[in-house]
Amino acid sequence: MTDDDISKLKKRFAELAERAERSFIYQETRFLDQAEQSVLLSMRLPIPITLYGGFDNAERRIACFGAEEIMGYAYEPPIVCVNIRPKGARFAEELTHRDFLGSLMGLGFTRDVLGDIVVHNGEGWLFCLGTAAPVIIEELVKVRHTCVICSEGVMPQDAVSLGETRSFTVPSERLDALISAVYKLSRDESKKLCEKGLVYVNSRLCLKAGSTPEAGDMVSVRGHGRFRFLRIENETRKGRLRVLAEVF
């Protein structure tokens, strides 16, 4: 994002926060990507903010401005899960995230209306704004050359990886050292990922390769994946650290 993009985004977030505080009515954004969430989380606003993506660890999320103790009523995120499944599984192509997204964009939807798309057992599970769901269910009839049927549904629990807990030995708990160990990169490569703005910690942009994540922090590395730093297990005889991370 350019400085002008960031400035406009901050202005919009500030307006939503002010409106929520003044009206006692929840205000919300459309789906935000990691960079947009990072801008939001860097701001000091006069009202609580909560991010929703439809399921735990979703990357694309909407922001809600307000809280029940302030507004006096509970908030219901306007997110619907749409199941996209082949009419005939036997003759269906092997569809990817890109295939589903391309077909949805082909219907004229902008990316901020669409949340995460999870591909599981040949089917797509799309999280989208409730206003878009009826149109998608009605009009999305084909993904690539495969005819599909769409309906509201509940994504199976096993559709999203719970992560694999793995042990790594690192020279320190610096962010670049952890990234290097998890993705088998050199320290220089890991450092450059941070400097290029490709690393997020709990949806906050992290440009400092030498920063130290806390236990439970979720680290997202564009082009590589995500992992949750769990804890330091112990120190080896050679002074290195054995750490645990949950890799997605």
pLDDT for 57 equals: 87
Q: pLDDT at residue 12 above 80? A: yes
Band the pLDDT of 207: cuts 50, 70, 90: very high
242: which 2 tokens? 């054995």
pLDDT at 88: 83
pLDDT of residue 209: 95
pLDDT confidence of 46, banded at 50, 70, 90? very high
Beta bridge partners of 12: none
Q: Are 198 and 227 within one domain?
A: yes
Find the largest Cα–Cα distance for the chain. 63
Q: What's residue 47's pLDDT?
A: 96
Using a pLDDT cut of 70, give the percent of the chain over it: 100
CATH number of 20's domain: 3.30.1370
pLDDT of residue 163: 78
Q: Is 214 exposed, middle or buried (0-12, 13-18, 19+ CB in 10 A)?
A: exposed
Statement to judge: residues 113 and 46 lie in one domain? no
First to last CA, the chain: 27
Instruction: Examine the domain organization and report whether 18 and 84 are in the same domain.
Output: no
Q: Which of 129, 159, 189 is the last residue of a domain?
A: 159
Question: Which of 71, 91, 117 is at the close of a domain?
Answer: 71
Q: How far apart are CA 131 and CA 220, in angstroms?
A: 29
Q: Say if strands 114-120 and 27-28 run parallel, antiparallel, or are unpaired.
A: unpaired
pLDDT for residue 233:
92
Residue 119's pLDDT is: 94
Query: For residue 124, what are the domain limits?
Result: 79-159
User: Does the pLDDT of residue 161 top 80, yes or no?
Assistant: no
CATH assignment of the domain containing 207: 3.10.290.10
Q: Give the pLDDT confidence score for residue 11 in this predicted structure.
A: 97
pLDDT at 244 > cutoff 80: yes
Q: Are 51 and 203 in contact (CB under 8 A)?
A: yes
Phi/psi for 168 (5° steps) reads: -135, 150
What's 97's domain CATH number?
3.30.70.330
Using CA atoms, how far residue 162 sits from 38, 112, 122, 159, 204, in Å, is 24, 26, 19, 9, 22
User: What is the Cα–Cα distance from 24 to 47, expressed in whole angstroms?
Assistant: 10
Average pLDDT score over residue span 168-194: 96
List, for residues 122-133, the tens digit of each pLDDT value.
999 999 999 999
Say whether both 102 and 30 belong to one domain: no
- pLDDT, average across residues 146-168: 91
Boundary residue ending a domain (159, 182, 200) = 159
As a whole number of angstroms, the distance between CA 103 and CA 106 comes to 5
Q: Which of 31-35, 92-96, 157-161, 172-176 has the lowest mean pLDDT?
A: 157-161
Q: How far apart are CA 55 and CA 222, in angstroms?
A: 20
- pTM confidence score: 0.82
Residues 83 and 55 in one domain: no
The 10s digit of each residue's pLDDT in 65-114 is 999 999 999 999 999 999 999 998 787 899 999 999 999 999 999 999 99
Residues 6+ apart with CB under 8 A from 237: none
Report how many domains make up the chain. Answer: 3
Q: At what angle do helices 175-183 and 187-195 cross, to 10 degrees?
A: 120
Mean pLDDT score across all residues of the chain: 95
pLDDT score of 120 = 93
Cα dist from 146 to 36, 86, 100, 123, whole Å: 34, 7, 11, 11
